[in-house]
Chain A
Amino acid sequence: MQQVFSIPKSIKENMRYTFCPGCDHGIAIRLVAELLDEMGLQEKTISATSIGCSVFLYDFLDIDCVEAPHGRALASATGIKRVRPDKFVFTYQGDGDLASIGLAETMHTAFRGERVSAIMINNTTYGMTGGQHGPTTMMGQITTTSPTGRNREYYGYPVKMAEQLALCDGTAFSARVALDSIPHINEAKKAIKKAFQVQLDGTGFGFVEILSTCPTNWHMTPEQAHEHVRTKMVETFPLGVFKDITK
């Protein structure tokens, strides 16, 4: 009998799954793990981890990791890459980590064209602390700190990282993907692969923003949450490749 599906080698054995039901972190981490396997990167990977729900990366991935304070993962990643340029270095961060508290580190990593890759989970809220308004919260979205919905007067506008990073000279690849359907998941995997490949080729900074669900804080079922990504989130955060200098 042929085995057609298994847990990727880069996922830790006996890992305990701690994300909420319907959360897309699981799919995103699996895609990363599959690519580490397929691209033969597991043994040469060093990751700088982030703070928030994404903090538990080291519980899932069987790779070397060092914890960075909130927002500073790409600074630590830069440090690793500059002394160990032969290693594969990536970060896996939430939107609060990468686009709010760590925005300066993110932008400057891209400006410098640092040979590292970054994945940002965009779920439009601070998940771990219980669903507060964050940099990517959509206009009108109700959170625990935007009780009447995000409005221009008090909160301004959401940050669109994939577009912003595409403007940086040092960015080799920037894309936004979603995980709400099989075709989109396949697209997402292709994009992450590209963001990894530009690092390996020494082309520049690789970035993928993943639209992701947070059913718990959105107060939705997993199905409703994916429907929300499909119909509402993509209006604010259109999917696509915003920069690919390899083309």
Chain B
Amino acid sequence: MENKNWKAENSEKVLIKGNYAIAQAAINAGCEAYFGYPITPQTEIGEYLSAKMQELGRGYVCAESELAAINMVMGAVSTGAKAMTSSSSCAVALMQEALSYASANELPVVLVNVMRAGPGLGYIYPAQGDYNQAVTGGGNGDYKIIVLAPSTVQECIDYTYRAFYLAQKYRNPVIMLADGLLGQMMEPATFGNYPYPEVDTSQWALTGAKDRTSRAIYSCAPDEKKQIQRIYDLFKKFDVITENETSYEEFETEDADIILTAFGSMTRNIKAAMKVLREKGLKVGCFRPITLNPFPTKKIAELAQNVKNFIVVEMNMGQMFKDVKCAVNGLTKIDLINRPCGEWLSVEEIVSSVEKILEKNYAASV
């Protein structure tokens, strides 16, 4: 494989929009082609890359649909190239078929979803309603996708790098699940250099059957035994991913009675709410899954043994809530603070909702 040593443009601190940060990080990561279709609030990714990819002589197609875009990515990555698409919610729905194929065919597809509000067309309000779509997916069959959820513009950069690396390392599709807030906001960030080694794809990538036997990448399985074995193998691989790559952050959980849990950019708000609640004398900690898949089930179960109450805070109707509940598995109380979409739950709202929950759960003692 060609080993191109891509350099980051610079590592000075820049004030940059999440969408542009993702796009530039893809370039730094060595993304050889971008395929996409416009949809708010992620269109700036395609706009930025349309100019940059042409300047750099790399691939860019303004695809005729999201269906086409992700299938273009599948073709491109089958050659060992790094390639990506980006989209939003209702349009990511169109890509579910391809994600099932890419998982079955072990193709390192990278997809960025900058979430908007659904269901249906919804609108461009920020929301976190695609947790289920990303984590459990809408494609057919048993398959698993790695899902990374950034909470800051800096993490948009860091996790874009990581998405490209993990996709090739495990030959598995990776979704970076951002939201409209992250896509549209600006924050100081640094790019640095792509921090991962280049993955050797020479054992499987399609390069033309020269000096070797031909390779066919397909999921069609008229042989039942082979099909069964394939699924076992895919899940065995995901066990390894779970073991190696599950990642999360915790804040002040050591002495916590209550743990607030959120993903993505809501993490900020629960951390701020934690500070306010601590000032009020409540022992509150925060837990934030970074990989939504693999989900840090084990760690939550461990924390649940010493905590009185988990409280999940999210901008949907409780999608991550059920995974946390599953992990808590009856060991402790669990509650939900949520809004379906729109204005992010403010620190004040979270604080007052937590107080109400505690009053309800521990009327006598708190």
Q: Is the CB–CB distance between A82 and B33 below 8 Å?
A: yes
Minimal beta-carbon separation of B119 from chain A (angstroms): 24
Instruction: Indicate if B228 sits at the interface (CB-CB under 8 A).
Output: no
Task: Confirm or deny: A69 has a beta carbon within 8 angstroms of a beta carbon on chain B.
Answer: yes
Is A115 located at the chain interface by the 8 A CB criterion?
Answer: no
When chains A and B are docked, how far (Å) is the Cα of A87 from the Cα of B78?
13
Give which listed residue, A45, A61, A75, A112, contacts B67 with CB less than 8 A: A75
CB contacts (< 8 Å) of B101 on chain A: these are 67-69
Let me know if A80 is at the binding interface, CB within 8 A. yes
- Residue from A58, A61, A66 whose CB has the most chain B CB atoms within 10 Å: A66
A interface footprint on B57-91 (CB within 8 Å = 1, 0 otherwise): 00111011101110111111111010100000000
Interchain CB contact (< 8 A) of B33 among A43, A48, A83: A83
Against B, the Cβ 8 Å flags (1 = close, 0 = not) of A64-77 are: 11111100100111
**CB distance B74 to A46 under 8 Å?**
no
Does A66 lie within 8 Å of B71, measured CB to CB? no
Q: Given A63-B214, A75-B63, A105-B68, A55 and B78 touching (CB < 8 A)?
A: no
CA distance A63 to B206 in the complex (A): 9
Query: Does residue B207 face the partner (Cβ distance < 8 Å to A)?
Result: yes
Q: How many of chain B's residues touch chain A, expressed as a range?
A: 35 or more
Query: Which of A45, A48, A68, A75 has the most C-beta atoms of chain B within 10 angstroms of its own C-beta?
Result: A75
Contact among A12, A68, A82, A84 for B71, CB-based, below 8 A: A68
Q: Which A residues lie within 8 Å of B354 (CB)?
A: none
Contacts A75-B75, A79-B76 given; does A65 touch B68 at CB 8 Å? no
Closest to B59 in A: A82
Q: Is A232 an interface residue (CB 8 A)?
A: no
Contact of A76 among B65, B78, B211 (CB under 8 A): B78
Q: What sequence of 0s and 1s flags, for each residue 179-222 of chain B, a beta carbon within 8 Å of any chain A beta carbon?
A: 00000000000000000000000000011111101111111100
B215: chain A residues at CB < 8 Å are 64-65
Confirm or deny: B245 has a beta carbon within 8 angstroms of a beta carbon on chain A.
no
- Within the complex, what minimum Cβ distance (angstroms) separates B25 from chain A? 19
CA distance A12 to B77 in the complex (A): 25
Across the interface, which residues of A come within 8 angstroms of B71, CB to CB? 68-69, 72, 75-76, 79, 105
Smallest CB separation, A5 vs chain B (Å): 23
B208 near A64 with CB under 8 A, answer yes
Interchain CB contact under 8 A, A72 and B98: yes
The reply to whether B83 and A79 contact each other, CB–CB distance below 8 Å, is: yes
- B75 contacts across to A, CB distance below 8 A: 48, 66, 68, 75-81
Question: Are B79 and A105 interface neighbours, CB within 8 A?
Answer: no
> B72 contacts A82, CB within 8 Å?
yes
Is the beta-carbon distance between B209 and A62 smaller than 8 angstroms? yes
Chain A residues within an 8 Å CB radius of B63: 75, 108
Chain A residue with minimal CB distance to B63? A75
Nearest residue, chain A, Cβ from B77: A79
Q: In the complex, what residues of A have CB within 8 A of residue B207's CB?
A: 46, 64, 84, 87
Bound CA span A88–B208, Å: 9
B208 and A82 within 8 A (CB): no
CA of A80 to CA of B101, assembled, Å: 16
Q: Which of B97, B216, B219 contacts A65 (CB 8 A)?
A: B216
Q: Are B81 and A49 in contact (CB under 8 A)?
A: no
Residues in B neighbouring A88, C-beta threshold 8 A: 208
CA distance A42 to B208 in the complex (A): 7
A229 within 8 Å of B by Cβ? no
Q: Which residue of B lies closest to A42 (CB)?
A: B209
Is A75 a contact partner of B76 (Cβ separation < 8 A)?
A: no
A239 interface contact, C-beta 8 A = no
Q: When the two chains form the complex, which single residue of A43, A68, A84, A107 contacts B81, counting CB atoms closer than 8 Å?
A: A84
Q: How far is the CA of A66 from the CA of B64 in the complex (A)?
A: 21
Are B83's CB and A64's CB within 8 A? no
B252 is an interface residue with CB less than 8 A from chain A: no
A67 touches B32 (CB 8 A): no
Q: Does A185 count as interface, using CB distance less than 8 angstroms? A: no
Query: Could you say which residues of chain B place their CB within 8 Å of the CB of A190?
Result: none
Interface status of A104 (Cβ within 8 A of chain B): yes
Is B293 an interface residue when CB atoms closer than 8 A count as contact?
no
Question: Quick check: is B35 within 8 A (CB to CB) of the other chain?
Answer: yes
A44 within 8 A of B: yes
Q: Is there a chain A Cβ closer than 8 Å to B105's Cβ? A: yes
Q: Which 9 A-B pairs have the closest CB atoms?
A: A79-B75, A76-B75, A79-B72, A82-B59, A58-B216, A67-B218, A75-B71, A79-B76, A72-B71
Known: A43-B209, A46-B78, A66-B78. 6 other contacts (CB 8 A): A62-B209, A64-B214, A64-B215, A72-B68, A82-B76, A83-B83
Q: List 30 A-B contacts (CB under 8 A).
A: A43-B208, A46-B78, A49-B218, A58-B218, A64-B215, A65-B206, A65-B215, A66-B74, A66-B78, A66-B206, A67-B216, A67-B218, A69-B98, A72-B74, A75-B75, A76-B72, A78-B61, A79-B33, A79-B61, A79-B72, A80-B206, A82-B59, A82-B60, A83-B59, A83-B81, A84-B81, A88-B208, A105-B67, A105-B68, A108-B63
